[in-house]
Structure 1
Amino acid sequence: MCWLVHSVTRSSRLVLATNDQSPGAAGQPVQQAPLGDVPGDKLGFGALDEAIYANLDVTTGGISWNLVFLAAHPEYQDLLAAELAARNGSPDERRRYILGNSTLLAACIAESSRLRPLAAFSVPQSAPTERRVDGYRIPAGTDFIVDSYGLNLRSGFWGPDAATYRPQRFLEKGALEMRYHFWRFGFGPRQCMANTLPTS
Protein backbone atom coordinates (compact mmCIF):
# COMPACT_ATOMS: atom_id res chain seq x y z
CA MET A 1 0.00 0.00 0.00
CA CYS A 2 2.84 2.41 0.83
CA TRP A 3 4.25 2.05 -2.72
CA LEU A 4 0.86 3.00 -4.16
CA VAL A 5 0.56 6.11 -2.01
CA HIS A 6 4.10 7.19 -2.92
CA SER A 7 3.39 6.60 -6.60
CA VAL A 8 0.20 8.67 -6.48
CA THR A 9 1.96 11.41 -4.52
CA ARG A 10 4.76 11.62 -7.10
CA SER A 11 2.24 11.62 -9.93
CA SER A 12 0.16 14.35 -8.33
CA ARG A 13 3.15 16.70 -8.45
CA LEU A 14 3.41 16.44 -12.21
CA VAL A 15 2.12 19.34 -14.25
CA LEU A 16 -0.10 18.14 -17.07
CA ALA A 17 0.08 19.61 -20.56
CA THR A 18 -3.08 21.59 -21.10
CA ASN A 19 -2.18 23.90 -24.00
CA ASP A 20 -0.58 21.27 -26.24
CA GLN A 21 -3.20 20.24 -28.79
CA SER A 22 -1.09 17.64 -30.60
CA PRO A 23 -2.49 14.08 -30.76
CA GLY A 24 -1.75 12.07 -27.64
CA ALA A 25 -0.47 15.08 -25.67
CA ALA A 26 -3.49 15.51 -23.40
CA GLY A 27 -2.76 14.32 -19.91
CA GLN A 28 0.93 13.67 -20.55
CA PRO A 29 3.30 14.76 -17.78
CA VAL A 30 5.64 17.46 -19.03
CA GLN A 31 7.62 18.58 -16.00
CA GLN A 32 8.04 18.08 -12.30
CA ALA A 33 6.14 20.70 -10.33
CA PRO A 34 8.49 22.71 -8.10
CA LEU A 35 8.02 22.41 -4.37
CA GLY A 36 8.52 26.15 -4.07
CA ASP A 37 9.57 27.87 -0.89
CA VAL A 38 8.21 25.32 1.55
CA PRO A 39 9.99 25.47 4.91
CA GLY A 40 11.71 22.24 5.94
CA ASP A 41 9.40 21.72 8.92
CA LYS A 42 6.37 21.82 6.61
CA LEU A 43 7.93 19.09 4.47
CA GLY A 44 8.40 17.02 7.62
CA PHE A 45 4.74 17.46 8.53
CA GLY A 46 3.80 16.44 5.00
CA ALA A 47 5.74 13.19 5.38
CA LEU A 48 4.11 12.59 8.75
CA ASP A 49 0.64 13.26 7.32
CA GLU A 50 1.36 10.86 4.48
CA ALA A 51 2.51 8.15 6.89
CA ILE A 52 -0.59 8.57 9.05
CA TYR A 53 -3.24 8.96 6.36
CA ALA A 54 -1.76 6.36 4.02
CA ASN A 55 -2.19 3.81 6.78
CA LEU A 56 -5.74 4.67 7.89
CA ASP A 57 -7.29 1.82 5.91
CA VAL A 58 -4.72 -0.66 7.22
CA THR A 59 -5.10 0.53 10.81
CA THR A 60 -8.89 0.48 10.59
CA GLY A 61 -8.82 -3.04 9.13
CA GLY A 62 -6.50 -4.29 11.86
CA ILE A 63 -8.58 -2.82 14.67
CA SER A 64 -11.82 -4.03 13.09
CA TRP A 65 -10.66 -7.65 12.69
CA ASN A 66 -9.40 -7.68 16.27
CA LEU A 67 -12.81 -6.52 17.50
CA VAL A 68 -14.62 -9.05 15.28
CA PHE A 69 -12.57 -11.94 16.69
CA LEU A 70 -13.06 -10.74 20.26
CA ALA A 71 -16.82 -10.38 19.68
CA ALA A 72 -16.94 -13.94 18.33
CA HIS A 73 -14.95 -15.26 21.31
CA PRO A 74 -16.35 -13.74 24.53
CA GLU A 75 -14.13 -16.04 26.60
CA TYR A 76 -11.15 -13.94 25.45
CA GLN A 77 -13.00 -10.75 26.32
CA ASP A 78 -13.31 -12.06 29.88
CA LEU A 79 -9.65 -13.11 30.03
CA LEU A 80 -8.55 -9.73 28.68
CA ALA A 81 -10.75 -7.86 31.17
CA ALA A 82 -9.27 -9.89 34.03
CA GLU A 83 -5.71 -9.35 32.80
CA LEU A 84 -6.27 -5.60 32.47
CA ALA A 85 -7.98 -5.38 35.88
CA ALA A 86 -4.95 -7.05 37.46
CA ARG A 87 -2.79 -4.25 36.06
CA ASN A 88 -5.16 -1.40 36.80
CA GLY A 89 -2.69 0.35 39.08
CA SER A 90 -0.74 3.41 38.07
CA PRO A 91 -0.88 4.90 34.57
CA ASP A 92 2.72 3.69 34.08
CA GLU A 93 1.70 0.12 34.91
CA ARG A 94 -1.20 0.27 32.42
CA ARG A 95 1.11 1.76 29.78
CA ARG A 96 3.68 -1.03 30.28
CA TYR A 97 0.86 -3.58 29.96
CA ILE A 98 -0.48 -2.05 26.74
CA LEU A 99 2.99 -1.83 25.20
CA GLY A 100 4.05 -5.29 26.38
CA ASN A 101 4.53 -8.05 23.85
CA SER A 102 3.99 -10.98 26.23
CA THR A 103 0.42 -10.12 27.26
CA LEU A 104 -2.86 -11.66 26.17
CA LEU A 105 -3.72 -8.30 24.57
CA ALA A 106 -0.62 -8.48 22.35
CA ALA A 107 -1.39 -12.13 21.57
CA CYS A 108 -4.99 -11.29 20.55
CA ILE A 109 -3.76 -8.54 18.23
CA ALA A 110 -1.11 -10.82 16.70
CA GLU A 111 -3.58 -13.69 16.26
CA SER A 112 -6.13 -11.51 14.46
CA SER A 113 -3.30 -10.22 12.23
CA ARG A 114 -2.23 -13.79 11.51
CA LEU A 115 -5.72 -14.98 10.58
CA ARG A 116 -6.68 -11.88 8.59
CA PRO A 117 -3.50 -10.34 7.18
CA LEU A 118 -4.15 -6.87 5.84
CA ALA A 119 -2.22 -7.61 2.65
CA ALA A 120 -2.58 -10.97 0.94
CA PHE A 121 0.78 -10.60 -0.78
CA SER A 122 3.95 -8.62 -0.24
CA VAL A 123 5.06 -5.85 -2.55
CA PRO A 124 6.89 -7.53 -5.45
CA GLN A 125 10.66 -7.67 -5.02
CA SER A 126 13.57 -8.98 -7.01
CA ALA A 127 16.18 -11.45 -5.71
CA PRO A 128 19.49 -9.53 -5.63
CA THR A 129 21.64 -12.67 -5.89
CA GLU A 130 21.11 -16.31 -6.74
CA ARG A 131 19.61 -18.23 -3.81
CA ARG A 132 18.50 -21.72 -2.86
CA VAL A 133 15.15 -21.86 -1.09
CA ASP A 134 13.88 -25.23 0.11
CA GLY A 135 15.96 -26.97 -2.55
CA TYR A 136 14.84 -24.71 -5.41
CA ARG A 137 17.31 -22.52 -7.32
CA ILE A 138 16.19 -18.88 -7.52
CA PRO A 139 18.29 -17.00 -10.13
CA ALA A 140 19.40 -13.43 -9.44
CA GLY A 141 16.86 -10.92 -10.73
CA THR A 142 13.87 -13.24 -10.24
CA ASP A 143 10.78 -11.32 -9.17
CA PHE A 144 8.89 -12.77 -6.23
CA ILE A 145 6.13 -12.04 -3.75
CA VAL A 146 5.36 -13.51 -0.34
CA ASP A 147 1.96 -15.15 0.16
CA SER A 148 0.96 -14.03 3.66
CA TYR A 149 -1.85 -16.59 3.88
CA GLY A 150 0.64 -19.32 2.98
CA LEU A 151 2.87 -18.35 5.90
CA ASN A 152 0.18 -17.36 8.40
CA LEU A 153 -2.39 -20.10 7.81
CA ARG A 154 -1.28 -22.90 5.52
CA SER A 155 2.13 -23.50 7.08
CA GLY A 156 2.48 -26.63 9.21
CA PHE A 157 4.26 -24.45 11.77
CA TRP A 158 0.93 -23.32 13.28
CA GLY A 159 -0.33 -26.86 13.83
CA PRO A 160 -3.62 -28.59 12.99
CA ASP A 161 -5.66 -25.74 14.51
CA ALA A 162 -4.02 -23.08 12.29
CA ALA A 163 -7.41 -21.73 11.13
CA THR A 164 -8.71 -21.44 14.71
CA TYR A 165 -8.57 -18.22 16.71
CA ARG A 166 -6.28 -19.18 19.57
CA PRO A 167 -4.18 -16.22 20.79
CA GLN A 168 -2.28 -18.36 23.31
CA ARG A 169 -0.15 -19.71 20.47
CA PHE A 170 1.71 -16.37 20.55
CA LEU A 171 2.44 -16.85 24.25
CA GLU A 172 3.65 -20.43 23.70
CA LYS A 173 6.19 -19.69 20.97
CA GLY A 174 9.16 -17.35 21.06
CA ALA A 175 9.59 -14.39 18.71
CA LEU A 176 12.67 -15.92 17.08
CA GLU A 177 10.84 -19.20 16.54
CA MET A 178 7.99 -17.37 14.75
CA ARG A 179 10.18 -14.93 12.83
CA TYR A 180 9.77 -16.40 9.34
CA HIS A 181 6.37 -17.99 9.92
CA PHE A 182 4.32 -14.87 10.63
CA TRP A 183 3.92 -12.25 7.90
CA ARG A 184 2.68 -8.97 9.27
CA PHE A 185 4.97 -6.09 8.27
CA GLY A 186 7.52 -7.87 6.11
CA PHE A 187 11.09 -8.90 6.82
CA GLY A 188 14.41 -7.10 6.77
CA PRO A 189 15.10 -3.72 5.18
CA ARG A 190 11.95 -3.74 3.03
CA GLN A 191 9.47 -4.13 5.85
CA CYS A 192 6.79 -1.51 6.42
CA MET A 193 8.38 1.64 7.82
CA ALA A 194 5.50 2.05 10.28
CA ASN A 195 5.84 -1.48 11.68
CA THR A 196 6.22 -0.28 15.28
CA LEU A 197 3.15 1.99 15.30
CA PRO A 198 0.49 -0.72 15.83
CA THR A 199 2.36 -2.16 18.78
CA SER A 200 3.37 1.10 20.45
Structure 2
Amino acid sequence: NLFVAGTDTTSTIVEWSLAELIRHPAILKQAQAELDAVVGRGRLLSESDLPRLTFFNAVIKETFRLHPSTPLSLPRMAAAECEVAGYRIPKGSELLVNVWGIARDPALWGPDPLEFRPARFLPGGSHADVDVKGGDFGLIPFGAGRRICAGLSWGLRMVTLASATLVHAFDWEMPAGQTPDELDMEEAFTLLLQRAVPLMVHPVPRLLPLAYEIA
Protein backbone atom coordinates (compact mmCIF):
# COMPACT_ATOMS: atom_id res chain seq x y z
CA ASN A 1 0.00 0.00 0.00
CA LEU A 2 2.77 2.44 0.90
CA PHE A 3 4.67 1.67 -2.30
CA VAL A 4 1.66 2.18 -4.58
CA ALA A 5 0.54 5.30 -2.71
CA GLY A 6 3.99 6.81 -3.05
CA THR A 7 4.62 6.01 -6.72
CA ASP A 8 1.39 6.06 -8.72
CA THR A 9 0.14 9.27 -7.11
CA THR A 10 3.49 11.01 -7.64
CA SER A 11 3.89 9.98 -11.27
CA THR A 12 0.28 10.97 -12.00
CA ILE A 13 0.76 14.52 -10.71
CA VAL A 14 4.10 14.89 -12.51
CA GLU A 15 2.42 13.88 -15.79
CA TRP A 16 -0.42 16.36 -15.22
CA SER A 17 1.98 19.20 -14.38
CA LEU A 18 4.00 18.60 -17.53
CA ALA A 19 0.84 18.36 -19.65
CA GLU A 20 -0.54 21.65 -18.30
CA LEU A 21 2.75 23.45 -18.92
CA ILE A 22 3.04 22.12 -22.45
CA ARG A 23 -0.54 23.22 -23.11
CA HIS A 24 0.33 26.72 -21.83
CA PRO A 25 3.63 27.65 -23.56
CA ALA A 26 3.84 31.13 -21.98
CA ILE A 27 3.60 29.64 -18.47
CA LEU A 28 6.16 26.98 -19.42
CA LYS A 29 8.61 29.66 -20.57
CA GLN A 30 8.06 31.61 -17.35
CA ALA A 31 8.79 28.48 -15.31
CA GLN A 32 11.93 27.75 -17.33
CA ALA A 33 13.11 31.34 -16.95
CA GLU A 34 12.83 31.07 -13.16
CA LEU A 35 14.68 27.75 -13.18
CA ASP A 36 17.45 29.18 -15.35
CA ALA A 37 17.80 32.16 -13.00
CA VAL A 38 17.95 29.98 -9.87
CA VAL A 39 19.84 26.94 -11.17
CA GLY A 40 21.51 28.08 -14.38
CA ARG A 41 22.12 25.87 -17.39
CA GLY A 42 25.33 24.24 -16.27
CA ARG A 43 23.88 21.73 -13.79
CA LEU A 44 20.71 19.88 -12.94
CA LEU A 45 18.27 21.01 -10.29
CA SER A 46 18.90 19.89 -6.71
CA GLU A 47 16.53 19.60 -3.77
CA SER A 48 18.16 22.60 -2.09
CA ASP A 49 16.96 24.80 -4.97
CA LEU A 50 13.26 24.13 -4.35
CA PRO A 51 12.56 26.83 -1.71
CA ARG A 52 13.66 29.52 -4.20
CA LEU A 53 11.28 28.42 -6.95
CA THR A 54 8.38 30.72 -6.11
CA PHE A 55 6.68 30.48 -9.49
CA PHE A 56 7.22 26.76 -9.95
CA ASN A 57 5.81 26.01 -6.51
CA ALA A 58 2.70 27.92 -7.61
CA VAL A 59 2.59 25.72 -10.72
CA ILE A 60 2.57 22.62 -8.52
CA LYS A 61 -0.19 24.02 -6.29
CA GLU A 62 -2.31 24.77 -9.35
CA THR A 63 -1.72 21.26 -10.68
CA PHE A 64 -2.81 19.72 -7.38
CA ARG A 65 -5.89 21.96 -7.46
CA LEU A 66 -7.09 20.98 -10.93
CA HIS A 67 -5.84 17.40 -10.94
CA PRO A 68 -5.72 15.96 -7.39
CA SER A 69 -4.25 12.48 -7.56
CA THR A 70 -7.12 11.13 -5.43
CA PRO A 71 -10.28 12.97 -6.58
CA LEU A 72 -12.33 11.53 -3.72
CA SER A 73 -10.93 11.26 -0.21
CA LEU A 74 -10.60 7.86 1.37
CA PRO A 75 -13.89 6.77 3.00
CA ARG A 76 -14.71 7.90 6.52
CA MET A 77 -17.48 6.59 8.79
CA ALA A 78 -19.60 8.83 10.98
CA ALA A 79 -18.95 7.76 14.58
CA ALA A 80 -22.16 9.44 15.71
CA GLU A 81 -25.19 11.10 14.17
CA CYS A 82 -24.47 14.71 13.26
CA GLU A 83 -25.60 17.55 11.03
CA VAL A 84 -23.42 19.10 8.31
CA ALA A 85 -24.62 22.16 6.39
CA GLY A 86 -28.22 21.27 7.20
CA TYR A 87 -27.89 17.59 6.19
CA ARG A 88 -28.48 14.87 8.78
CA ILE A 89 -25.71 12.29 8.76
CA PRO A 90 -26.82 9.04 10.44
CA LYS A 91 -24.36 7.18 12.63
CA GLY A 92 -22.37 4.62 10.61
CA SER A 93 -22.75 6.49 7.31
CA GLU A 94 -19.79 6.16 4.92
CA LEU A 95 -18.61 9.59 3.82
CA LEU A 96 -16.44 10.72 0.92
CA VAL A 97 -15.13 14.24 0.34
CA ASN A 98 -15.18 15.39 -3.29
CA VAL A 99 -11.70 16.91 -3.36
CA TRP A 100 -11.90 17.42 -7.14
CA GLY A 101 -15.23 19.26 -6.96
CA ILE A 102 -14.24 21.55 -4.07
CA ALA A 103 -11.12 22.70 -5.91
CA ARG A 104 -13.22 23.71 -8.93
CA ASP A 105 -15.96 25.54 -7.04
CA PRO A 106 -16.43 29.11 -8.36
CA ALA A 107 -17.56 30.20 -4.89
CA LEU A 108 -14.04 29.44 -3.65
CA TRP A 109 -11.93 30.04 -6.74
CA GLY A 110 -13.64 32.87 -8.57
CA PRO A 111 -15.01 33.05 -12.11
CA ASP A 112 -12.18 31.04 -13.71
CA PRO A 113 -11.90 27.83 -11.63
CA LEU A 114 -11.22 25.64 -14.68
CA GLU A 115 -8.38 27.81 -15.95
CA PHE A 116 -4.79 26.74 -15.25
CA ARG A 117 -3.47 29.92 -13.64
CA PRO A 118 -0.56 29.48 -11.21
CA ALA A 119 -0.45 33.26 -10.63
CA ARG A 120 -3.42 32.92 -8.26
CA PHE A 121 -0.95 31.45 -5.71
CA LEU A 122 1.80 34.05 -6.16
CA PRO A 123 2.33 36.92 -3.69
CA GLY A 124 -0.45 39.40 -4.36
CA GLY A 125 -2.57 36.76 -6.11
CA SER A 126 -6.14 35.92 -5.20
CA HIS A 127 -5.10 32.80 -3.25
CA ALA A 128 -1.54 33.68 -2.23
CA ASP A 129 -2.03 32.35 1.32
CA VAL A 130 -3.64 29.04 0.34
CA ASP A 131 -1.53 25.92 0.77
CA VAL A 132 -1.95 22.19 0.09
CA LYS A 133 -1.02 21.00 3.57
CA GLY A 134 -4.51 20.60 5.00
CA GLY A 135 -5.05 24.00 6.58
CA ASP A 136 -7.16 25.38 3.71
CA PHE A 137 -10.23 23.22 3.10
CA GLY A 138 -10.67 24.54 -0.44
CA LEU A 139 -7.47 22.74 -1.47
CA ILE A 140 -6.92 19.39 0.24
CA PRO A 141 -5.25 16.99 -2.24
CA PHE A 142 -3.57 15.26 0.72
CA GLY A 143 -6.62 15.37 2.96
CA ALA A 144 -6.71 17.18 6.30
CA GLY A 145 -6.88 16.63 10.01
CA ARG A 146 -5.57 13.62 11.92
CA ARG A 147 -5.99 11.34 8.91
CA ILE A 148 -4.04 13.55 6.50
CA CYS A 149 -1.72 11.71 4.10
CA ALA A 150 1.33 10.47 6.01
CA GLY A 151 3.53 11.06 2.96
CA LEU A 152 2.54 14.71 2.40
CA SER A 153 5.99 16.25 2.85
CA TRP A 154 7.79 13.56 0.90
CA GLY A 155 5.21 13.46 -1.88
CA LEU A 156 5.10 17.22 -2.33
CA ARG A 157 8.88 17.41 -2.43
CA MET A 158 9.23 14.54 -4.93
CA VAL A 159 6.51 15.89 -7.24
CA THR A 160 8.11 19.33 -7.28
CA LEU A 161 11.64 18.01 -7.77
CA ALA A 162 10.69 15.59 -10.57
CA SER A 163 8.47 18.08 -12.42
CA ALA A 164 10.95 20.95 -12.12
CA THR A 165 13.82 18.74 -13.32
CA LEU A 166 11.89 17.72 -16.44
CA VAL A 167 10.93 21.33 -17.19
CA HIS A 168 14.43 22.67 -16.54
CA ALA A 169 16.37 19.99 -18.40
CA PHE A 170 14.22 19.68 -21.52
CA ASP A 171 12.03 21.44 -24.00
CA TRP A 172 9.05 19.35 -25.05
CA GLU A 173 7.85 18.85 -28.61
CA MET A 174 4.43 17.63 -29.63
CA PRO A 175 4.07 14.80 -32.17
CA ALA A 176 4.22 15.94 -35.78
CA GLY A 177 1.15 17.90 -36.84
CA GLN A 178 -0.09 18.60 -33.30
CA THR A 179 -0.12 21.89 -31.43
CA PRO A 180 -0.18 22.44 -27.64
CA ASP A 181 -3.79 23.64 -27.66
CA GLU A 182 -4.80 20.27 -29.17
CA LEU A 183 -3.36 18.28 -26.25
CA ASP A 184 -5.97 15.86 -24.93
CA MET A 185 -6.66 16.71 -21.27
CA GLU A 186 -9.49 14.25 -20.65
CA GLU A 187 -9.45 12.69 -17.20
CA ALA A 188 -9.97 9.04 -16.29
CA PHE A 189 -11.72 8.75 -12.93
CA THR A 190 -10.62 5.71 -10.93
CA LEU A 191 -9.15 5.59 -7.44
CA LEU A 192 -6.58 7.95 -8.97
CA LEU A 193 -7.24 10.86 -11.32
CA GLN A 194 -5.15 9.76 -14.28
CA ARG A 195 -4.98 10.99 -17.85
CA ALA A 196 -7.37 9.16 -20.15
CA VAL A 197 -4.70 9.38 -22.89
CA PRO A 198 -1.05 9.03 -21.82
CA LEU A 199 1.12 12.07 -22.47
CA MET A 200 3.21 11.51 -25.61
CA VAL A 201 5.83 14.21 -26.18
CA HIS A 202 9.46 14.35 -27.29
CA PRO A 203 12.16 15.72 -24.93
CA VAL A 204 14.81 18.05 -26.37
CA PRO A 205 17.85 18.87 -24.16
CA ARG A 206 18.08 22.59 -23.34
CA LEU A 207 20.99 22.70 -20.87
CA LEU A 208 24.73 22.77 -21.46
CA PRO A 209 26.15 19.29 -22.25
CA LEU A 210 28.08 19.17 -18.98
CA ALA A 211 24.81 19.31 -17.02
CA TYR A 212 23.88 15.83 -18.26
CA GLU A 213 27.22 14.20 -17.43
CA ILE A 214 27.19 11.53 -14.73
CA ALA A 215 29.90 12.15 -12.17
| Bin for the TM-score computed over the shorter chain | 0.5 to 0.7
Report if the CA contact (8 A) 1:111-1:166 is conserved. Answer: yes
What CA distance in whole angstroms lies between the structure 1 residues aligned with 2:118 and 2:139?
A: 13
Q: Does 1:88 align with 2:39?
A: yes
Tell me the SS of whatever aligns to 2:116.
Answer: coil
Q: Does 1:99 align with 2:99?
A: no
- TM-superposed CA distance for 1:170, in Å, is 1.8
Query: Within 5 A, what are the aligned runs for 1:29-178?
Result: 51-88=2-39, 95-99=47-51, 103-171=54-122, 172=125, 173=127, 174-175=129-130
RMSD of aligned alpha carbons: 2.7
What CA distance in whole angstroms lies between the structure 2 residues aligned with 1:54 and 1:163?
A: 26
Q: Letter of the aligned partner of 1:175 in structure 2?
A: V
Residue 195 of structure 1, aligned match among 126, 145, 152? 152
Deviation digits for residues 65-113 of structure 1 (CA, Å, limit 9, x no counterpart): 0000011111111111222233237x9x97454135x711111111111
What CA distance in whole angstroms lies between the structure 2 residues aligned with 1:94 and 1:87?
A: 11
What TM-score, normalized to structure 1? 0.64
- TM-superposed CA distance for 1:56, in Å, is 1.3
Q: Which gives a bigger RCO, structure 1 or 2 (Cα 8 Å, sep 6+)?
A: 2
What CA distance in whole angstroms lies between the structure 2 residues aligned with 1:152 and 1:198?
A: 19
Percent identity of paired positions between Structure 1 and Structure 2: 32
**Structure 1 pair 150–53 and aligned structure 2 pair: CA distance change class (3 A):** closer
What TM-score, normalized to structure 2? 0.60
Q: Letter of the aligned partner of 2:114 in structure 1?
A: A
- TM-superposed CA distance for 1:125, in Å, is 0.3
Deviation digits for residues 152-186 of structure 1 (CA, Å, limit 9, x no counterpart): 11352011110010011122221379700012100
What CA distance in whole angstroms lies between the structure 1 residues aligned with 2:76 and 2:135?
A: 22
The size of the alignment, in residue pairs, is: 148
Report if the CA contact (8 A) 1:125-1:144 is conserved. Answer: yes
Deviation digits for residues 10-43 of structure 1 (CA, Å, limit 9, x no counterpart): xxxxxxxxxxxxxxxxxxxxxxxxxxxxxxxxxx
